[in-house]
Amino acid sequence: MYALRLIIKNALRHKLRTTLTVLGLVVATLSFGLLQTVVDAWYAGAEGAANTTLITRNKTSLVFPLPLSYQSKIRAVEGVTGVGYANWFGGVYQDPKNFFAQFAISGQSYLDIYPNYLLSEAERSAFLRDRKGAIVGRKLANQYGFKVGDIIPIRGTIYPGQWEFVVRGIYEGRQSGTNTATMFFHWDYVNERILKMAPKRGNQIGVYVVQIAQPENAASISAAIDSQFRNSLAETLTETEKAFQLGFVSMSEAIVVAIRVVSFVVILIIMAVMANTMAMSARERLGEYATMKALGFGPGFLALLIFGESLLLALVGAALGIALLFPLTAGIGAQLGTMFPVFEVAPLTVLLQLLSALGIGVVAGIAPTLRAARINIVEGLRSIG
């Protein structure tokens, strides 16, 4: 307790310097946490992917469709327990800046594969009965004010024309990381109009979503699915949902790497600032350290004072930075809207912030501690006054 009082008094001896140092630590910790949260948001889709879900797409490119007739053949593969399909719609709601994901899906079979999308039985039944029905995520509904029964007009881009969908349900996420910023509606409704407008584009979908019983069989089942369509006009590529999502992330990998690098550079910069602060403090107290050594205090006690002060400043700055991160992230997430469907602080980010603060405190205290431990009592006493 006596040592703790000394540590606190030493930290508050130069209030302006201490305040500026803590402020720098707050900014660094906050910046590090925010940048890590952005990276986590980039990987949210992949991290939330189930290990029992496979995605089958056209081997050539995702922009090329697959025949609807593949569904029964995929369902017949041993180990497959369910097959649904989805197609990116890419329409515009009111204004091109109102971007959010829209998927035309197979209805019941698709929802069965994704139990994390929580709907009441009444909403689920209403959606499945209504050919023009749609369900939207809670985050999407909150952003645009959608309510059950609303008609959402969508101007088609990939599928031209004016489309109208009736909101039959608003789904919640089973977990906090579940994407609730997407709109789903029936592929049958879209396909019906496409067959009339452009028959050659009908009965084709973007991807098949395949549910399997055992995740360890993912590789063999993927190979079995792809072997069925080898040398066909539409060969397939089947991979885990996580690998599929990571394929999109890899397109912007350079940006993600740059953000990671910047986040750690921020920590290195504040580490240098903190080390300079502690060096200045130790230099000013050489006489005091010499006096304490003359009174019988050993190097261990001096190290305790220096490291204690350094860790105290680092942890106070980190605590304030972490406390500010949560409201700031919530505010930024609200502004970003559906750009990042999942934008929240992960426990690992908080842990990294704390470990970084501890690292800064320890590293900043090494040089002053060594200097205080090696100081000659006579030389140190000469520096007094």
SS3 sequence, the chain? CHHHHHHHHHHCCCHHHHHHHHHHHHHHHHHHHHHHHHHHHHHHHHHCCCCCEEEEEECCCCCCCEECCHHHHHHCCCCEEEEEEEEECCCECCCCCCCCEEEEECCHHHHHHCCCEECCHHHHHHHHHCCCEEEEEHHHHHHHCCCCCCEEEEEECCCCEEEEEEEEEEEEECCCCCCCCEEEEEHHHHHHHHHHHCHHHCCEECEEEEEECCHHHHHHHHHHHHHHCCCCCCCEEEEEHHHHHHHHHHCCHHHHHHHHHHHHHHHHHHHHHHHHHHHHHHHHCHHHHHHHHHCCCCHHHHHHHHHHHHHHHHHHHHHHHHHHHHHHHHHHHHHHCCCCCCCCCCHHHHHHHHHHHHHHHHHHHHHHHHHHHHCCHHHHHHCCC
Q: What is the pLDDT of residue 117?
A: 93
Per-10-residue mean pLDDT, the chain, length 385: 74 81 88 88 74 92 91 94 94 88 93 93 95 94 93 92 94 86 94 89 92 92 94 92 82 77 84 79 70 73 80 89 92 76 85 89 82 67 55
Q: What is the pLDDT of residue 83?
A: 96
Q: What is the pLDDT of residue 14?
A: 79
Q: What is the pLDDT of residue 292?
A: 72
Q: What is the pLDDT of residue 378?
A: 60
Q: Where are the chain's structural domains?
A: 2-45+252-382, 60-234
Q: What is the pLDDT of residue 9?
A: 78
